Structure 1
């Protein structure tokens, strides 16, 4: 990767001056890209690039299957969202710390059985950003749902990765997918089978690349992955810290409704009660520190702060700068 022209931007008190190589290629945007698909943030001396993998249309019941449908409908109406199905963002981050380039999650990839053509955009968008797959030294998986591992299963991707690539994932996550329990989820038809299939294929293809950790692991200077559990038994978050600044990539712990109603259960949560407890704990921490939050399914670029009042929170997105 070669150096690219970047523009400074401010996120709160942080100056975000992205220096990931080749993050911008003026004039190369393809005709179908009508909106930006990547957003750069600087955390101290560490570069973070949020990349959109597209959007995933899902039933609105997935936002909160433990509440009265009328209550959920009222929230959707207040948020100017449609009543039956909404587009969930799919965000991935690339972190550059020292000599390491770290891909956190890998997007949906391609699954023709589910007919989700607007998702699975990560590989071409990494290419558009000038990020060569061979430059990725580490992959961190927040968990092994298919919308976090599928990009690595796209035909030809494995051949373009480094032979010494390290894939970091919680040991509890690997163990869970040996015999996954879907008894507490509330997913649309077809998803449980698709999740099982993707995880099984991933383990078969990438077993030798895995570097399982128990509870916490420092992937690179200032980049720490910590197991939280809840969403899945091995679900993890990634905190980036440098020069007094901090950013947490929360994976699937936080959804759009989770600020006002952290007690509402998401349909993909394998232990929804634990997920709610972990969500509240993380949001309290971020409200207290003022550090940045990025999450998989918050609207792109999903960079913002958390304001809190007890166990009720408010999402405060950063102002776009360009």
Structure 2
């Protein structure tokens, strides 16, 4: 299956005369008077939903960033900087127009058509995580992909926002024809009797939910799962890059399309400002904070040095760009959209 970029139909342009005549008629037909001044009647504007998909190339590979929606985190501080000084965080937030009371974390799923495999990275969440989540199946179909078309799924790690939608409400696999790939360390951790989540700074109820989510969804793929050991090739052109700390067996991915390479960092970084300006800050999401910091610094340094295209799961859609060095830390330079 080939993923074709979307096209935008072009509407014929109205003539200047007909446009002005129509506009004048609209104002005269529906005008409001306030203090003797006439105003055109306001129209009802549509409420935007989540983004859908964005097509791009990785060398010779066709690729898509597909949105599953977003997760609302309240408050943003100290959620993305448990060890940050509030004054320093507030200064950074003011500089970058951040709302310290809330943060929106996008869910950007990578789809790669290598010509041999149609690969999806992670299966996404559901509305159980919030009303802004669970749009991956709809947006796949909008991109012309039936879930049954996916033959390869890489599970980067087993947090609920990455695997909760592996099965549907009927308990059946949402991607019925896929083979699944996950780090052997990640599988071993989440399938043990009682995974130790003491490193996560979440309420106990969420930890219980995360364990149940892993038990159900990983259990559903046990007959078709493949263990990824180290930095092995998953399918031709896509390699695993072990990046532990966020979880014990967390994976990033290297996608080599020949003339271009993309590194999908998944959850090594979470926030497009705080995680780059201060990679030493501890977000509540990392299980082993110290190891996660070391991994984050190493990966960001490599991306900035090599100037490699990156995709980040939780950055603003479509999550594509480059990492640049900036004032003792790093900065995110999003790609300009093309179509």
Q: Note the residue ranges of structure 1 that are not aligned, 5 or more in a row.
A: 2-18
CA 1:210 to 1:32, structure 2 compared with 1: closer, same or farther past 3 Å? farther
Report what 2:36 is aligned to: none
The reply to whether residue 222 of structure 1 matches residue 237 of structure 2 is yes
The reply to whether residue 201 of structure 1 matches residue 183 of structure 2 is no
Q: For 1:250, what is the secondary structure of its paired residue?
A: strand
Runs of 4+ more than 6 Å apart: none
Partners of 2:113 and 2:169 lie apart in 1 by: 26
Contact residue 97 and residue 222 of structure 1 kept, 8 A = yes
Higher Rg: 2
CA 1:157 to 1:183, structure 2 compared with 1: closer, same or farther past 3 Å? closer
Report what 1:117 is aligned to: 131
CA 1:161 to 1:270, structure 2 compared with 1: closer, same or farther past 3 Å? same
Contact residue 109 and residue 154 of structure 1 kept, 8 A = no
Q: Where do 1:116-195 residues align within 5 Å?
A: 116-155=130-169, 158-159=172-173, 161-163=175-177, 165-177=178-190, 178=192, 179-187=194-202, 190-195=205-210
Partners of 2:325 and 2:288 lie apart in 1 by: 24
Q: For 1:207, what is the secondary structure of its paired residue?
A: coil
Contact residue 6 and residue 55 of structure 2 kept, 8 A = no
Report what 1:235 is aligned to: 250
Report what 2:73 is aligned to: 58
Partners of 1:197 and 1:25 lie apart in 2 by: 42
Partners of 2:165 and 2:152 lie apart in 1 by: 14
Deviation at 1:89, TM superposition (A): 0.9
TM-score with structure 1 length normalisation? 0.86
Partners of 2:94 and 2:171 lie apart in 1 by: 41
Of residues 321, 329, 334, the one that matches 1:304 is 321
Of residues 270, 276, 286, the one that matches 1:259 is 276
Aligned-residue Cα RMSD (Å) equals: 2.2
CA 1:35 to 1:145, structure 2 compared with 1: closer, same or farther past 3 Å? closer
Partners of 2:151 and 2:173 lie apart in 1 by: 14
The reply to whether residue 40 of structure 1 matches residue 67 of structure 2 is no
TM-score with structure 2 length normalisation? 0.82
Contact residue 247 and residue 293 of structure 1 kept, 8 A = yes
Deviation at 1:34, TM superposition (A): 5.1
The reply to whether residue 318 of structure 1 matches residue 332 of structure 2 is no
Instruction: Summarize deviations over 1:236-277 as a string: whole Å, max 9, x none.
Output: 001111223111111100122111100011101011111111
